[in-house]
């Protein structure tokens, strides 16, 4: 039986994935009111939400998920029956420089949300009519050698402070399900791309520097492999898991679309008509996972989700959003 939410709290909803999710929920859950909670740190921007900010079924609250008072007050004055936790510090390089914000947001913040949901829902007539969905990452599994792909039962083996903090949050979510009977779900996704991504991730960095004809830094030998998924497909996956997923389960969301970093950068340069000589190889970062790959057959087989976006078209769309006046070579 499908879950039909009435009031959804989306944390981190002014960020890249979160803002696409809020817009997707407005479109795909016409019966639901959406409340966005975002601290509006460097990667959060209300402009990402566009016209949704003024939508009659959307409310915005500025606040930190690790602030117990703000979160408790929000739960006490709202009738949330669903929480989708997208709020997180996400950039690996930043976590290597300073892990503290990652521990605060990703672990402590998740704990604050879980506790508020537990207190709010423990006296409801039927707690199974609520949902807490933790949006996680493939990085919690660590690196995998070719061939093969991680399944939902693969052990967690994070290799960076970022991925370790996300793994810790996942375990905390599962513990609240086991200990308190909280109706939890976890999604783990591969690398996302699409318009409005904050310019610290690989694609927006490369696109921006290529547009400016600047050297493009590539870690190590550039042969690290990532699976790429358009953020619209990710959003459809999250909503599918929220509305049809089995409580207590983990679902991988993968694109079956693997590219080495160097091949992806070459493709971007080709679309922009820039020379490959702009690529500059720099010393590898510590703990740099060699390859990520997810087996998403559980999500497709049980819930019918499949990626729909064409990667070449989505990549051109992403580049065009950052270079609207450029002449792009569409192949």
Give me the count of residues in the chain. Answer: 331
Which residues, 6+ apart, have CB-to-CB distance to 66 below 8 Å? 104, 105, 108, 109, 112
Identify whether the C-beta of residue 133 lies closer than 8 Å to the C-beta of residue 238: yes
Alpha-carbon distances, residue 116 vs 26, 33, 63 (angstroms): 24, 19, 15
Query: Quick one: how many helices (H) and strands (E) in the chain?
Result: 11, 12
Give the 3-state secondary structure of residue 10: strand
Q: How far apart are CA 159 and CA 43, in angstroms?
A: 23
Query: Does the annotation count 27 as an active-site position?
Result: no
Query: Does the annotation count 180 as an active-site position?
Result: no
Q: Which of 38, 89, 162, 292 is catalytic?
A: 162
Q: Which of 81, 139, 258, 309 is catalytic?
A: 139
Task: Using the CB atoms, write b or e for 41-74: b if 16+ within 10 Å.
Answer: eebbbbebbeebbeeebbebbebbbbeeebbeeb
Ordered DSSP codes for 77-144: TS--SEEEE------HHHHHH--HHHIIIIIIHHHHHHHHHHHHHTTSS-GGG-EEEEEEEGGGG---
Q: Give kind and range of the element (H or E) at residue 300.
A: helix 297-303
Query: Does the annotation count 162 as an active-site position?
Result: yes
Q: Which of 138, 170, 227, 233 is catalytic?
A: 138
What residues act catalytically?
A: 138-139, 162
């Amino acid at each position: 039986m499908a879950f039909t939410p009435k009031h959804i709290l989306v944390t981190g909803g002014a960020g890249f994935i979160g803002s696409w999710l809020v817009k997707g929920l407005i479109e795909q859950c016409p019966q639901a009111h959406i409340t966005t909670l975002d601290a509006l740190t460097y990667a959060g921007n209300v402009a990402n939400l566009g016209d949704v900010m003024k939508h009659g079924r959307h409310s915005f609250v500025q606040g930190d998920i690790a602030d117990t008072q703000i979160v408790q007050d929000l739960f006490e004055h709202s009738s949330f029956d669903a929480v989708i936790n997208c709020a997180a510090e996400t950039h690996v390089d930043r976590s290597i420089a300073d892990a503290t914000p990652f521990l605060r947001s990703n672990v402590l913040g998740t704990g604050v949300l879980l506790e508020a949901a537990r207190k709010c829902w423990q006296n409801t007539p039927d707690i199974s009519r609520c949902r807490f969905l933790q949006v996680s990452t493939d990085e919690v599994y660590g690196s995998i050698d070719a061939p093969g792909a991680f399944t939902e039962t693969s052990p967690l083996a994070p290799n960076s402070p970022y991925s370790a903090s996300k793994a810790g949050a996942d375990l905390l979510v599962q513990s609240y399900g086991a200990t308190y009977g909280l109706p939890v779900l976890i999604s783990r996704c591969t690398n996302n791309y699409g318009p409005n991504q904050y310019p610290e991730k690989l694609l927006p960095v490369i696109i921006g520097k290529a547009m400016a004809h600047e050297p493009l830094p590539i870690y190590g030998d550039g042969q690290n492999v990532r699976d790429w998924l358009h953020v619209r497909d990710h959003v459809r996956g999250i909503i599918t898991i929220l509305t049809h997923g089995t409580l207590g389960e983990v679902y991988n969301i993968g694109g079956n679309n693997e590219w080495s970093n160097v091949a992806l950068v070459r493709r971007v340069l080709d679309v922009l008509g820039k020379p490959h000589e702009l690529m500059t190889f720099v010393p590898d970062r510590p703990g740099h996972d060699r390859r990520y790959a997810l087996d998403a057959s559980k999500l497709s087989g049980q819930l019918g989700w499949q990626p729909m976006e064409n990667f070449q078209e989505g990549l051109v769309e992403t580049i065009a959003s950052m270079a609207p006046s450029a002449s792009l070579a569409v192949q």
